[in-house]
Amino acid sequence: MTSNEFLSSLFSLQGRTALVTGGTRGIGQTMALALAKAGADLILVQRNLDNQDTATQAKQLGRQVAVVQCDLADKEQLGGLVQKITGEMGLKFDILVNSGGIQRRAPAENFTNENWDEVLQVNLNAVWTLSRDCGKHMLESRGVGFTGSRGKIINVASLLSYQGGMTVPAYAAAKHGVLGLIKALSNEWSSKGINVNGISPGYIATEMNTALIADPVRSRQIMERIPIGRWGTPEDFEGAIIFLASRASDYVCGESLLVDGGWMAR
């Protein structure tokens, strides 16, 4: 076996299909395209169908791409999404990446119920709903006593799955919940052919962190604590997502991989 053949046997996603939320920009887009570069076809869940950039780039790589409209904030749309994909559209998938998320910032004493509910719905309830429904699809498609490739569920957690942050109480609560969900589902499904893991991003230079980057005091404080000496970029997640989606991580269960430049080690 050549070195290329060995690496391909571990990391190739040829013949597999990934369902991805939040794949139109930032970390989510980079991870979706990394999966496509590794060989996976894509099902992109988007609130707005006007943005076809990720789909276009994946098709240029020779991948099959389906774009499905769904607002993660809409419980009714979300509840019927997997049935629509597997029933009406007749598609199957064996990788789920829950990357969709939103942020709302305010001092805790002024944080509104509306903002709380909105963040919890998109960042936690939607992750639960899709993990449950996609996990059920993966279990049914594998059957009892499965053999072959394992299903992979990868939920995007956060540094705030471990810490509280400042002025983002709903986000911190949701991301703590995501980490607990990763462990709970892994306990039930690891023996049934599904790996449930997560990725916990550190401070990444994306649109979600525009306010932090623009704040000279907070930006300096953050930079001083990152041992690697820089903010992260979406490209820092390409290796992590391919690892967790591929055969290389088949014995990794219930973990969340920190991609944080050493923040949590400090």
Closest of 20, 17, 31 to residue 259, by C-alpha: 31
Give the DSSP letter of residue 166.
S
Residue written as token pair 């490739």: 149
Distance of CA 47 to the CA centre of its chain: 16
Instruction: Evaluate whether 65 touches 29 at the Cβ level (below 8 Å).
Output: no
- Given the residues 162, 171, 203, 251, the one annotated as active site: 171
Q: Contact, 236 vs 202, CB < 8 A?
A: no
* 143 phi and psi angles, rounded to 5 deg: 75, 180
DSSP state of 256: E
Residue with tokens 């809409």: 74
From the list 177, 161, 32, 158, the residue with the least C-alpha distance to 95 is 32
Q: Following DSSP, what letter does each residue of 1-47 receive, concatenated? A: --HHHHHHHHH--TT-EEEEESTTSHHHHHHHHHHHHTT-EEEEEES
204 in the Ramachandran plot: left (φ > 0), alpha (ψ -120 to 50) or beta? beta
SS3 183: helix
**DSSP code for 63:** -
Rounded Cα–Cα distance for residues 152 and 155 (Å): 10
Told to judge if 251 belongs to the known catalytic residues of this protein, a careful annotator would answer: no
- CB 34 within 8 Å of CB 9: no
Write out the catalytic residue numbers.
171
